[in-house]
Structure 1
Amino acid sequence: MPQILTYLFIALYSVTILSIILVIITDNRNPLKTLPWVIVLLFAPVVGLVFYFFFGQNLSKQRIISRRTRKRISMRLVEAQDPSRPEIPEHWQPLARLLKSTIHAVPLYGSRITPYTDGASKMEALLDEIARARHHIHLQYYILCNDRTGSRLCDALRAKAREGVQVRILYDDVGSSSVKKSFFASLRRDGIEVRAFLHVRFPRFTSKINYRNHRKIAVIDGRVGFIGGMNIADRYVYGTDWGIWRDTHFRIEGNGVAGLQASFLSDWSATTKQRITGAEYYPPTRHFTRDVLQIVPSGPFGKWRTLLQADSYAVARACHRIWIQTPYYLPSEVLNSALQTAALAGIDVRLMLPARSDSRVVDLASHSYLDDMMKAGVKILFYTPGFLHSKLLIVDDDLTVIGSANMDFRSFEHNFEVNAFLYDAEFTARMAAIFDHDASNSHPLTPAEWFNRPRPQRWAESLMRLFSPLL
């Protein structure tokens, strides 16, 4: 009898492994992603099965929010358009159509945008706007810590809740996993609506642990919004033991706030099943400038990887400049090849990375891509005063991409992100000046020093590159 049970277990286990391999193959994924999973499941089936359960399942065909709900929430964006609006530059109109057709990113006009390059000034600006709130405050962060910075923010929110202001908070259940649940419970007791996005529960939602909400959004009364790379934690304000935390965040006034509001309310609806679409969340706004922007939320559910497609398209259309800031460079083959092609064509391609990041493993994987980039003529800059966490893409003189997305597999394939695509020469010049200032605090990497780095370091980089899709 024991022998029969053993044979039965082996048969069932083998059928399970082969069935998963069949599912992976019939998903028609990129062969570069399919083959590693097949190899792991064949040669290390126990480990492979566990990793596949947590990180490998293809959930692109699932939806966490219906098209009808998303359309109802985003209808206000169409109503907010101005018939006398300025035109998107002609050479970027196909890009704008791509963003509208894949994610319904409506062009919005006349916003005023203020950049912040340090956490202290961003926090002061956010707290000032919270103090002015009269109707609602919507906050969404990947990380919301219960430290000095988080406590200061939450004290301000409690005060507004006592005044009768609606306060809603979305935090990521994995990004904020180190925070005790009692902290969020205390906020709820004080009249603040707090929810975890894709709450991880075993076994029902364990397969979604790899799909996290990395957005950083704040909307106050529908009139002012914030977007960028900064979470709520002390390190964003006070830095780390080994240097400053260099990040970029943006305050938006005008029609662009409606795009942030629609993104937040879509996620709120997906999490709570509450549909909030009232006109009071999209108040009339004045036009401050002649710029045009599109707020572009992206995520792992659905057919298209909008941010990857849009960035790749913009890079391919560049005529003379592509400047990038990103804390992690783990690109898709398409984007990596497009950047190398642009550099070989004589376009000024600059990639700014932190000299030291918050993850040694990610550092090694990122560095494995730099050999070919340098050979193609890409200028590599290592930011030295501290950790560069800024996310920025500048293409030519009139396109700037800002927001929460890193230039890596996780942001493009697995995370819920939100970026803003801005078509405006004046704003692009301002961001180029910030890039130049950061470049003055960076070390330009030379071929001589890079190609002479120790061989064991190269081996470690190549090994970590294999795990790029999971980092």
Structure 2
Amino acid sequence: MALTWTIIRWILLLVIFVNEIAAIFTVFREKRDIAATWAWLLVLTLIPVFGFILYAFFGRKLPHKRLELIKSQTRLKLKQALEEQKLQFINMPKPKDQTVQVYRRTIMLFQSIDDSFLTRHNNVDIFTEGNALFKKMFNDIAAAKRSIHIEFYTIYNDKIGNELRTLLEQKAAEGVEVRVLYDSWGSMGVRPSFYDHLREVGGYAAPFLMARSNFFDFRINYRDHRKIVVIDGEIGYVGGFNIGDQYLGRLPKFGPWRDTHLRIVGGGVYSLQRRFIGDWNASMKKQADKIFHYHPYFQPVRVRGNVALQTVSSGPEAPLEKIKMGYLRLINAAQDHIWIQTPYLIPDDSILDALRVAAHSGIDVRIMIPSMPDHAFVYRATQYYARDLANHGVTIYYYEKGFLHSKTMMIDGRMASVGSANLDFRSFKLNFEINAFIYSQTTVDDLEKIFVNDIRNSRVITPQMFADQSWWLRFKQTASRLLSPIL
């Protein structure tokens, strides 16, 4: 018996030794930031063998060829097409436009890192509730004459998902060009055959940059988290809503769904169109399925709105974390207040320090997060950072009327960001995201009124309330925080 236990101990020691060597090799063979490196080393070390299963889902990077595909398509040469149509909105703002003059450096930042044009004459509508959003969106789709381009992280096979598919099939049968790009993981449970009839009547549908099935490509990271709709090259939608019944408040688990989405008419649609074309071409294996003639999708601007904006996209194919840099720029430019809504508050050190500095500088920093979890580890990490920021003078709100999924940032009543990117590592480094950065006192005022109204459905969580939490809850928060670079 003693000999048997000795053999077992030696086997266990050998397994641990091999596991440690394999963990070091696995983590350090790919270039990644130091926080993620140590987080994965912790996982692989503390969870022998099974840690590698987690790594297979969460840790593997996209193949180099796929990153090159999306990178090459990001460099679509559309500037010439825009110039040929003499689109005046690409000019720098006029001196009399005070709001955009204040944020001139921010505008230049986005032009430099993302070739993002400032567009000054947009009409923008804000939607915070799914029924109103989808009614307007579906009406716009039904009125389409030339093209319908749709890109979502999630399109579910449920009531609203089937309503959209049926509408798209009708438009494709009418001869309208219909292209649907979806994330295979975000739309989990939806088989490729879901779009068979759409293809039969002349439409297109494909998963973003991935294999046809998650069975062959089961990475959970590096997902297409963008939400883009472009209709006839003239009307665009961007924001936080996906396509599914839960986004209409139909799932008891979440209750009413609180999100923020924009409808844009004007020059701002061009950047959404460009982003969709780049993502579509990168996802197509056949040359015949790609878009090569850009001009039909960039129609002359027919509106004279008063909202200036830029749309900025980011993803793991780029060396710069563009949207995060935008968030940093906004936070550091604030003079009076910073109001944020995010379902996931897991900032890296640069964002965390910027928020601390702002709060200690007397700036009114408010952050609203959900009062309920949809992912356990993510929610506990969010609570950890909320507790930290509360201790530095940031006002933390728990939104209690359903699930808060809105990703907004408002600065000084003059500038705002609305889009798909959360305030977390995943949106900064791992996912493909897109945000609209808005320079308009009127629109930002509307967003801030919405925030104030949401406060009525929230409660403030004070530093003392965080301190009074049970030791077990605080332990879970701290433990989850250790994994924050890979959540």
Q: TM-score, normalised by structure 2?
A: 0.88
For the residue of structure 1 that corresponds to 2:390, the secondary structure is helix
- Given the superposition, is the C-alpha separation of residues 394 and 277 from structure 1 closer, same or farther in structure 2, using an over 3 Å criterion? farther
Query: What is the CA distance between 1:316 and its match in structure 2?
Result: 1.2
What whole-Å deviation, never above 9, does each CA across 1:257-282 have from its counterpart, x for those lacking one? 11110011110010115134432200
Paired residue for 2:108, among 97, 119, 131?
97
Does 192-201 or 52-61 show the bigger shift? 52-61
Q: Which residue of 1 aligns with 2:76?
A: 71
Q: Which residue of 1 aligns with 2:39?
A: 36
Q: Which residue of 1 aligns with 2:265?
A: 253
Q: Which residue of 2 aligns with 1:363?
A: 379
- Given the superposition, is the C-alpha separation of residues 423 and 277 from structure 1 closer, same or farther in structure 2, using an over 3 Å criterion? farther
Does 352-361 or 246-255 show the bigger shift? 352-361
Does 447-456 or 217-226 show the bigger shift? 447-456
Query: What is the CA distance between 1:16 and its match in structure 2?
Result: 5.7
Q: Which residue of 2 aligns with 1:164?
A: 175
- The CA distance in 2 between the partners of 1:229 and 1:212, in whole Å, is 15
Q: What does residue range 331-342 of structure 1 map to in structure 2 within 5 Å?
A: 331-342=347-358
- The CA distance in 2 between the partners of 1:30 and 1:66, in whole Å, is 20
- The CA distance in 2 between the partners of 1:376 and 1:137, in whole Å, is 47
Query: What is the CA distance between 1:239 and its match in structure 2?
Result: 3.7
Decide whether the 8 Å contact of 2:155 with 2:182 is kept in 1: yes
Query: What is the CA distance between 1:332 and its match in structure 2?
Result: 0.9
- The CA distance in 2 between the partners of 1:238 and 1:262, in whole Å, is 32
- The CA distance in 2 between the partners of 1:73 and 1:104, in whole Å, is 10
Q: Which residue of 1 aligns with 2:93?
A: 86
Opposite residue 249 of structure 1, the aligned amino acid is: H
What whole-Å deviation, never above 9, does each CA across 1:341-398 have from its counterpart, x for those lacking one? 1011100100011111322332211001122211111111111110011110001121
Query: What is the CA distance between 1:92 and its match in structure 2?
Result: 1.8
What whole-Å deviation, never above 9, does each CA across 1:199-258 have from its counterpart, x for those lacking one? 246999747541100111111101111111111101111343152011111110011111
Q: Which residue of 2 aligns with 1:123?
A: 134
- The CA distance in 2 between the partners of 1:248 and 1:110, in whole Å, is 21
- The CA distance in 2 between the partners of 1:81 and 1:208, in whole Å, is 43
Please state if 1:375 is matched with 2:388. no
- The CA distance in 2 between the partners of 1:425 and 1:288, in whole Å, is 17
Query: What is the CA distance between 1:121 and its match in structure 2?
Result: 0.4
Query: What is the CA distance between 1:146 and its match in structure 2?
Result: 1.5
Q: Which residue of 2 aligns with 1:462?
A: 478
- The CA distance in 2 between the partners of 1:428 and 1:73, in whole Å, is 30
Opposite residue 26 of structure 2, the aligned amino acid is: I
- The CA distance in 1 between the partners of 2:166 and 2:461, in whole Å, is 45
- Given the superposition, is the C-alpha separation of residues 301 and 207 from structure 1 closer, same or farther in structure 2, using an over 3 Å criterion? farther
Please state if 1:135 is matched with 2:146. yes
- Given the superposition, is the C-alpha separation of residues 68 and 354 from structure 1 closer, same or farther in structure 2, using an over 3 Å criterion? closer
Decide whether the 8 Å contact of 1:357 with 1:388 is kept in 2: no
Opposite residue 267 of structure 1, the aligned amino acid is: D
Please state if 1:406 is matched with 2:422. yes
Decide whether the 8 Å contact of 2:128 with 2:261 is kept in 1: yes
- The CA distance in 2 between the partners of 1:355 and 1:83, in whole Å, is 42
- The CA distance in 2 between the partners of 1:141 and 1:73, in whole Å, is 23
Root mean square deviation, CA, Å: 2.6
- The CA distance in 1 between the partners of 2:18 and 2:407, in whole Å, is 47
Q: Unpaired runs of 5+ in structure 1?
A: 1-5
Decide whether the 8 Å contact of 1:57 with 1:207 is kept in 2: no
Q: TM-score, normalised by structure 1?
A: 0.90
Decide whether the 8 Å contact of 2:19 with 2:49 is kept in 1: no
Please state if 1:397 is matched with 2:413. yes
For the residue of structure 1 that corresponds to 2:70, the secondary structure is coil
Q: Which residue of 2 aligns with 1:55?
A: 58
Please state if 1:434 is matched with 2:450. yes
Opposite residue 247 of structure 1, the aligned amino acid is: D
- Given the superposition, is the C-alpha separation of residues 39 and 392 from structure 1 closer, same or farther in structure 2, using an over 3 Å criterion? closer
Decide whether the 8 Å contact of 1:86 with 1:291 is kept in 2: no
Query: What is the CA distance between 1:408 and its match in structure 2?
Result: 1.2
Opposite residue 260 of structure 1, the aligned amino acid is: L
Paired residue for 1:145, among 141, 146, 156?
156
Q: Unpaired runs of 5+ in structure 2?
A: 1-10
- The CA distance in 2 between the partners of 1:86 and 1:156, in whole Å, is 39
- The percentage of aligned residue pairs carrying the same residue is 36
Q: Which residue of 2 aligns with 1:184?
A: 195
Query: What is the CA distance between 1:447 and its match in structure 2?
Result: 2.8
Q: How many matched pairs?
A: 461
Does 237-246 or 252-261 show the bigger shift? 237-246
- Given the superposition, is the C-alpha separation of residues 239 and 295 from structure 1 closer, same or farther in structure 2, using an over 3 Å criterion? same
Paired residue for 1:318, among 334, 343, 352?
334
- The CA distance in 1 between the partners of 2:134 and 2:397, in whole Å, is 28
Decide whether the 8 Å contact of 2:256 with 2:401 is kept in 1: yes
For the residue of structure 2 that corresponds to 1:270, the secondary structure is helix
- The CA distance in 1 between the partners of 2:319 and 2:302, in whole Å, is 36
Decide whether the 8 Å contact of 2:19 with 2:45 is kept in 1: no
Query: What is the CA distance between 1:151 and its match in structure 2?
Result: 1.2
What whole-Å deviation, never above 9, does each CA across 1:67-104 have from its counterpart, x for those lacking one? 47623245445553337763463342222222122121
